[in-house]
Amino acid sequence: MPPRHSPPEALLTTLSATRGRSDRLTHTEHLPARPARYAPWPDWIRPEVVASAQAMGVRQPWAHQAEAMNLAKSGQSVVIATGTASGKSLGYLGPVLSDLLVGTEARNGRGATALYLAPTKALAADQRRRAAELAPPRVRAALYDGDTPPEEREWVRQYASYVLTNPDMLHRGILPAHARWSSFLKTLRYVVVDECHGYRGVFGSHVAQVLRRLRRICARYGSSPVFLLASATTADPAVTAQRLTGLPAEAVTEDGSPRGPMVFGLWEPPLTENVGEHGAPVRRTATAEAAHLLTDLVERETRTVVFVRSRRAAELVALQTQDQLPRPLADRVAAYRGGYLADERRALERSLHSGRLLGLASTSALELGVDISGLDAVLMAGYPGTRASLWQQAGRAGREAQGALAVLIARDDPLDTYLVHHPEALFATPVEATVLDPDNPHVLAPHLCAAAAELPLTDPDLELFGPSAAPLLPVLERRGLLRRRGDAWYWTRRERAADAVDLRGSGGSPVQIVEAPTGRLLGTVDASAAHTTVHTGAVHLHQGRSYLVRDFDLDSSVALVELADPPYTTSARDITSISVLSTDTTVDWGEGRLSFGSVEVVNQVVGYLRKRISTGEIMGESKLDLPPRTLRTRAVWWSVTEDQLLDADIPPDQLPGAAHAAEHASIGLLPLFATCDRWDIGGVSVPLHPDTGLPTVFVYDGHPGGAGFAERGFQRAVRWLTATREAIAACECERGCPSCVQSPKCGNGNDPLDKAAAVRLLDVLLAGAHAAAEETGRDREAAQDGPDGRHGRHGRDGQAGPDERDGRDGRVAPTHVPDPTEAAQAAAEAADGAEAAARAVEREAGRTTDRPTDGSGPGAS
């Protein structure tokens, strides 16, 4: 057995050399050590700040930190998008604290102020500690969140110069009471938006409107703060920053922090003897494979953390590993399930650091709250969803000298499978962008109400809120929410307008899940997901335990459940139809076409299947009597002609399976380009769609009004559909499996699916795209950019990859300007929501997720 602390390379070789695993390691990436690049302290940084930083061991800033400091000082909004642990906070704290220090010399001791926003309370608290370490006590930093006692709040408003809070508190607490914050807002110099890649989708769109409200109020008090954003490395950080704040931002992306060497393995578990739906081969699960690898690593006394997606999986990996190890070693493996008390977390840290504990299986809860670094190896059972999380997890491994090992183990789905066979998607320029759509009228309407309640809205204000604002106002007036007097719009209700919107909700009141015998509330599920997940008879998993839904009461929005352990899972069957409301943009791809616009999706859950857990075999089907639901949202869709089908050798009987398979795989791959997950989006494929008159595949945002995901798909369509084609073609299964074209949330029971015809269909579509690109004189490279490539310009150094082009000069891809009738319709719905919410008591905050179903259209079933 190799000695303890084998170099990572040797460890990986050993793992793949034993037990017939030679073909599972699909790629080894050597990430060389990166030396530090330093820059001098800018001379305007206050000596007190430099002295505290030096006392903490920072002798000089890294180059990217100094670059960010100088941009901020020049009054330029800036987004720092560098790696984990690259000291982004010093980049913004340098200018913020220096200016606040200067401000303490003003007569009232508060000549300058700054606001810090974090997505969570915990992060804000952590940042307060950091600011306190760097700043002399006369910079008064204070937390302001739901836990701040009332007597302290007054002090914060009057005296604090650095206020740390979250967007929810800004929206509900600070902006509506801006008069009481006037002295703070008057001198507001900086707004720090930390972890800004977290502001994505509907939540991100809401936060973007909250920031616009903040900018409007500041302008009224005579201030115009500079925005300093910190982001994980993503594609187009400057574009995201501009969408979020509405201001042009400069991106700082050249990371000057040092990094130890790392060996990164990509790993694909083997196919098993088991068969799944329609006889498809299934792979060994990523968690089972992780348990095997963890066993080998612990035997070699390698300190390892395995990241999994659920608490149940954490327990399974720990148990399986313990079973596979001899006794004394088995006791050195544990599961971490989150929700631990501070003492327990510290004890866990100590055991890992001392080496008493060798193997830990954990949910990503570990990312917050436990300091684990300097491990020998990190295993990731399944792609954690974004590159930011991937690097955050992998970054737990590594001590300077030895280097570190990280292994990504693929789950049985198209995205993971694609990634372990396309390392460039992980290790080259990032392709995924943080996506949001602040112009969504459903998001905007309640913020216009909140803004009008803060200060009457005037016509010049509308520009700030974007092109959707003007058509919305008359609708909100007709609903009795706003009234125009003179040249301004006023909020007319007695209720607080800000209470009408929950930044983290996604519309509709959530369904409560109640345990039948005890009446205990187990949790909630989003209204949009309820029909498919908690219908009567559904098996519902909650924190690793399984429940059977006894009754789903639509009127009271309650699902009564009881603890049960049936030998099956359930999956809903539904019928989905989609119609095009308006088309914003269409691009001709040879004979084929690609479009983006507004759609109406009507979905009805009609029954469900029971599938035996052990074999995946269908045990039976039951009917359900649920009403259809309508969703108005944004979609990207593509069509091909009959001639193209002939060229691709796809006869009519293969078409439904080809389109359906292409749709499933494309939904699986979109998260590679936009920070969504496959449950945020849905799809419909139709052999002959009445609105296009052609075979058409739609992919739509699962949230009312859209969240920007479909739009990103439209912008990166060539790359996205090329990756989709690759994922299907490369899968070693014969006729389709969960790694390529089967979907875990298919409303049609994954039927029909035709893997081979799907590849031919995408080939003929993409051939049209490339031909069109050549015809219009654009090179193939530009075609890779998707339809918005023509808006882009090269980065300032002329070397930016295609994905970065439209970011550097601050130009943003055009967002939709809804046509007036559509906007009015959307606003009417949005206003209904605002009205209902205004009557309701303050809703409990908490992130909810939409789970749109996907399904083929009526003609495809």
Which residue is listed with tokens 């009557």?
839
CA distance 535 to 559: 8
Q: What sign does the dihedral 205-211-216-217 (CA atoms) show?
A: positive
Span between the terminal Cα atoms of the chain, in Å? 56
Residue type, 167: P
Inter-residue contact 316 to 788 (CB < 8 Å): no
Inter-residue contact 513 to 559 (CB < 8 Å): yes
Q: 838 Cβ partners below 8 Å, 6+ apart?
A: 481, 493, 495, 496, 497, 499, 500
C-beta of 566: minimal distance to Zn ion in Å? 24
Q: Is the Cβ of residue 475 or residue 737 nearer to Zn ion in the bound state?
A: 737
CB atoms within 10 A of CB 78: 28
CA distance 324 to 334: 14
Q: Is 448 in the site for Zn ion (CB under 5 A)?
A: no
Residue type, 804: E
Inter-residue contact 119 to 503 (CB < 8 Å): no
Q: Is the Cβ of residue 96 or residue 672 nearer to Zn ion in the bound state?
A: 672
- Select from 240, 116, 245, 131 the least CA-distant residue to 188: 116
CA distance 18 to 16: 6
Phi-psi region of 57 (alpha: psi -120 to 50; beta: other; left: phi over 0): left
Binding segment for Zn ion among 9-17, 234-242, 710-718, 743-751 (CB under 5 A)?
Answer: 743-751
Which residue is listed with tokens 């949001």?
436
C-beta of 748: minimal distance to Zn ion in Å? 5
Q: Is 434 in the site for Zn ion (CB under 5 A)?
A: no
- Return the biggest CA–CA distance within the chain: 84
Q: What sign does the dihedral 836-837-838-844 (CA atoms) show?
A: positive
CA distance 333 to 357: 6
Query: Helix crossing, 655-669 with 717-730: angle to 10°?
Result: 110
CA 545-550-554 angle, to 5 degrees, is 115
C-beta of 282: minimal distance to Zn ion in Å? 10
Q: Is the Cβ of residue 29 or residue 751 nearer to Zn ion in the bound state?
A: 751
Q: Is the Cβ of residue 362 or residue 748 nearer to Zn ion in the bound state?
A: 748
CB atoms within 10 A of CB 286: 28
C-beta of 410: minimal distance to Zn ion in Å? 12
Q: Is the Cβ of residue 228 or residue 753 nearer to Zn ion in the bound state?
A: 753
Q: Is the Cβ of residue 136 or residue 859 nearer to Zn ion in the bound state?
A: 859
Q: Is the Cβ of residue 382 or residue 466 nearer to Zn ion in the bound state?
A: 382
The count of residues interacting with Zn ion (CB under 5 A) is 7
C-beta of 736: minimal distance to Zn ion in Å? 6
Q: Is the Cβ of residue 729 or residue 771 nearer to Zn ion in the bound state?
A: 729
- Reduced to 3 states (helix: H, G, I; strand: E, B; else coil), residue 207 is helix
Q: Identify the H or E element spanning 560.
A: strand 558-563
C-beta of 699: minimal distance to Zn ion in Å? 12
Q: Is the Cβ of residue 498 or residue 753 nearer to Zn ion in the bound state?
A: 753
CA distance 767 to 755: 18
Interface residues for Zn ion in 748-787 (CB under 5 A)?
748
Binding segment for Zn ion among 66-74, 747-755, 759-767, 796-804 (CB under 5 A)?
Answer: 747-755
CA distance 673 to 106: 48
C-beta of 735: minimal distance to Zn ion in Å? 8
- Select from 379, 339, 383 the least CA-distant residue to 360: 379
Q: 694 Cβ partners below 8 Å, 6+ apart?
A: 593, 639, 640, 641, 688
What count of Cα atoms within 13 Å lies in the side-chain half-sphere of residue 524?
20
C-beta of 414: minimal distance to Zn ion in Å? 8
Q: Is the Cβ of residue 86 or residue 603 nearer to Zn ion in the bound state?
A: 603
Cα–Cα distances (Å) from 611 to 238, 622, 837, in that order, read 47, 12, 39
CA distance 834 to 837: 5
Q: Identify the H or E element spanning 98.
A: helix 88-104
Q: Is the Cβ of residue 740 or residue 783 nearer to Zn ion in the bound state?
A: 740
E strand segments, 647-785: 681-689, 694-701
C-beta of 351: minimal distance to Zn ion in Å? 41
C-beta of 637: minimal distance to Zn ion in Å? 16
Phi-psi region of 278 (alpha: psi -120 to 50; beta: other; left: phi over 0): left
Task: Compose the 465-504 pattern: x for residues touching Zn ion by CB under 5 A, - for all others.
Answer: ----------------------------------------
Q: Is the Cβ of residue 398 or residue 752 nearer to Zn ion in the bound state?
A: 752
**Residue 626 dihedral angles phi and psi, to the nearest 5°:** -120, 145
CA distance 567 to 583: 47
Q: Is 746 in the site for Zn ion (CB under 5 A)?
A: yes
Interface residues for Zn ion in 711-740 (CB under 5 A)?
731, 733, 737, 739-740
Residue type, 344: E
C-beta of 737: minimal distance to Zn ion in Å? 4
Residue type, 14: T
C-beta of 777: minimal distance to Zn ion in Å? 38
Inter-residue contact 188 to 219 (CB < 8 Å): no
Q: Is the Cβ of residue 464 or residue 730 nearer to Zn ion in the bound state?
A: 730
Q: Identify the H or E element spanning 597.
A: strand 592-612
Q: Is the Cβ of residue 380 or residue 741 nearer to Zn ion in the bound state?
A: 741
Q: Is the Cβ of residue 469 or residue 731 nearer to Zn ion in the bound state?
A: 731
C-beta of 574: minimal distance to Zn ion in Å? 10
C-beta of 852: minimal distance to Zn ion in Å? 12
Q: Is the Cβ of residue 128 or residue 573 nearer to Zn ion in the bound state?
A: 573
E strand segments, 371-435: 377-381, 404-409
C-beta of 753: minimal distance to Zn ion in Å? 8
C-beta of 365: minimal distance to Zn ion in Å? 32
Q: Is the Cβ of residue 386 or residue 570 nearer to Zn ion in the bound state?
A: 570
Binding segment for Zn ion among 474-482, 601-609, 744-752, 769-777 (CB under 5 A)?
Answer: 744-752
C-beta of 779: minimal distance to Zn ion in Å? 33
C-beta of 571: minimal distance to Zn ion in Å? 11
Q: Is the Cβ of residue 303 or residue 678 nearer to Zn ion in the bound state?
A: 678
The CA R_g of the chain, rounded to the nearest whole Å, is 27
Residues engaged in binding Zn ion (CB under 5 A): 731, 733, 737, 739-740, 746, 748
